[in-house]
Chains A and B, each alone.
Chain A
Amino acid sequence: MSETHDDLSIELKQLIIETLELEDVAPGDIDPDAPLFGEGLGLDSIDALELGLALQKRFGIKLDAEAEETRRHFSNLNALKALVEARRAD
């Protein structure tokens, strides 16, 4: 089952919704395997910058200069979760 109810998933969903002010999205609407950008949740290039800042503030995560890699981390919630688990500073 891909549905995740763990604390970090919920925290990340709330971080996305709050940071990007997605007023029409509830945490349950974010499918952990669906794309966050473009077709899925409909996020865009400005959201990517905002999300990068929010990850740094909340988890102390510094993104790499490899743009392709950054894009892969942001591809869906599970990928984002894996990034936070691997790199969180706290």
Chain B
Amino acid sequence: MTFTPLSQAPWRRTVSPVPGLPSGWTSPASLPARVEAWRRWLAGRPGGQWLLCQRYPGEFCAALVALWESGRVAVLPADDRPETLARLANEVEGTLPDAPDVPAAADHGIQAPLALTPSSTAVVLYTSGSTGDPVRLAKRFDQLDAELAAHAKLWPLAGTAVISQVSHQHIYGLLAGILHPLCAGAPFCGDASRYPEVLAARLEEAGGAGLKPVVVSSPAQLSRLPDHLPWTERSAPCRVFSSGAPLAAPHARHAERLLHAPVVEIYGSTETGGIARRRQTRSSTWQPLPGVRLSFEGERLLLRSAFLDTPDAWWQQPDRVAPAANGFALLGRADRLVKIAGKRVSLVHIERTLADAPEVIEARCVDLDRSDGRLGAVVALSREAIPHRHESRRDLIQRLRARLSKHLEQVAIPRYWRFVDALPSNPQGKLDRDLIKRLFADLDDTRAPRWLGERRPGADSCTLTLEVPERLAYLEGHFEDYPLVPGVVMVQWAIELARENFGQLGDFQGLERLKFQRPLQPGIRFTLELLRREDGIAFTFESGEGRHCAGRVRLQSRDGTGASHG
């Protein structure tokens, strides 16, 4: 079937049903009946803007078309959190239900479908701004149609069936997973397709119906494709899209090998729509989409396209780029926004939400560049709120998570927490990269205590604030039901941290006045006081429970001198 723009109502074409596709798929022939059901539900209700948050792509598409053909505007919340929906409900005429509960006979008073005006608003989308406040973006039909035409030119859908693994409440999933197949008359599905097992089944279903599958995906899914599923060449997609965040090169290769298909990444944003595309296994350079003009100012990317709200003005993209032949390389975000599982997350927003908690003084949220993409949080607490044990730390984390979950999607909530009495800072007063690395070093080094800060009252003394990580390697198999840090490990920590703070101190000569007074258990926050002495160091482990261990270590350099000062 040929491509028809939205403004020419492609859903009103006469189509024949696609035989052989099971339920779970939406075919162009099944759509009109659902659109009519939604039109009946809307009849007699107020016009204007309606909130549309619908899990199933077929119902979503039918409701969307019914809103359009009755002269209404669809407002698409970015997530389905109750707080999000409640906040937006105040800005719209009403919220569409999960299903249109109207008897089939009640069809009196329905207006004939209205023709769509290219210059009128089709949808309102939400994304996160750099301050954390949601940004509201209206898209006209002419903007959507311009971008859909670019998709149709590069990636025609004739003879295909589209499987989406991403949310259609966002611009990429809306265009690639719903609107393009709608305009091309191709069957589509989504929802549970985000699971790899379901994707494999849907690929087979499309192949069985004589259609070539197209997969609309994201790095969250493609980086976690299991290799044991029956990814056959027979049911291979003709194309796999990825968007939301850059796909790591090894993941691009992995996905191409497993799915037997080219993986095409689309770079863009809610504000701009699509900007560029690449197939990373061929070239890492991003090439502009048809109709997109680029300009560079240093590391800044400027662009113009018919997908923008004002097509004849240059738009400045808040990503840093390096120009390259026929395109550019992406260097990273210029503001404090990160992408987690393809969702734009404002670190400032998380920090402000945390700072609203009564016990929190200030918070820093950090992208740890870990392969799991999870965030870390460094939180300065009032003295009495500092957790000293596993249980209180866990309770505090659960309280803070609960607070964040009212405003953020689950995946955006920090996974790694560091509680301090004041944010550590370098001589310039900044919590820099090195300090952040130190705060989270125990994630990769399961033999180290968790570092949470230190004081240096003089050249020969140092007090470190530390925690026993629950996953400390030394805890394993020591005592199954009563895990504790072995005494020898405490002594080893004292020596290692003394070397870090005082420099090379010489070789181990012996222990003196060693006393173990209390077991040190996982989750305990403690201080390690280190004193440099003529012949080595003195150390004391203390926590809110009292003294755990103290002693002296004799250390001597090979040339016979002790741990001499200076």
Interface residues of A, Cβ cutoff 8 Å to B = 17-18, 21-26, 29, 38, 42-46, 48-50, 52-53, 56, 62-65, 67-68, 70
CA distance A48 to B198 in the complex (A): 14
Chain B nearest CB, measured from A18 CB (Å):
8
Which residues of A are found within 8 Å of B502, using beta-carbon distances? Answer: none
Return 20 A-B CB contacts under 8 Å, by A number.
A21-B374, A21-B416, A23-B416, A24-B397, A26-B390, A26-B523, A42-B413, A44-B410, A44-B411, A45-B341, A46-B341, A46-B373, A48-B195, A49-B196, A49-B220, A53-B226, A62-B228, A63-B197, A65-B198, A65-B200
Nearest B residue to A42 via CB reads: B401
Q: Smallest distance from the beta carbon of B193 to chain A beta carbons, Å? A: 9
A70 to chain B, nearest CB (A): 6
Cβ contact within 8 Å between B372 and A70: no
Alpha-carbon distance between A29 and B392 when the two chains are bound, in angstroms: 12
Q: Mark B388-399, 1 if CB is under 8 A from A, else 0.
A: 001001100110
Query: In the bound complex, what is the Cα–Cα distance between A67 and B220 (angstroms)?
Result: 17
**Is the pair A38, B224 in contact by a Cβ cutoff of 8 Å?**
no
Question: In chain B between 182 and 216, which residues have their CB closer than 8 angstroms to a CB of chain A?
Answer: 191-192, 194-198, 200-201
- Asked whether, in the complex, the Cβ of B226 is within 8 Å of the Cβ of A52, the reply is yes
B469-A42 in contact (CB<8A): no
| In the complex, chain A residues whose CB is within 8 Å of the CB of B191 | 67
CB of B341 within 8 A of CB of A67, answer no
Given contacts A21-B415, A25-B470, A56-B226, contact A38 B196 (CB under 8 A): no
Q: Are A56 and B195 CB-contacts (below 8 A) given A21-B374, A24-B394, A29-B394?
A: no
B248 within 8 A of A: no
Q: Which of B197, B372, B398, B410 meets A21, CB within 8 Å?
A: B372
Q: Does B314 contact A (CB under 8 A)?
A: no
A31 to B417, CA, bound (A): 22
Interface residues of B in 363-388 (CB under 8 A from A): 372-374
Q: Does B118 contact A (CB under 8 A)?
A: no
Given contacts A29-B394, A45-B194, A67-B195, contact A24 B470 (CB under 8 A): yes
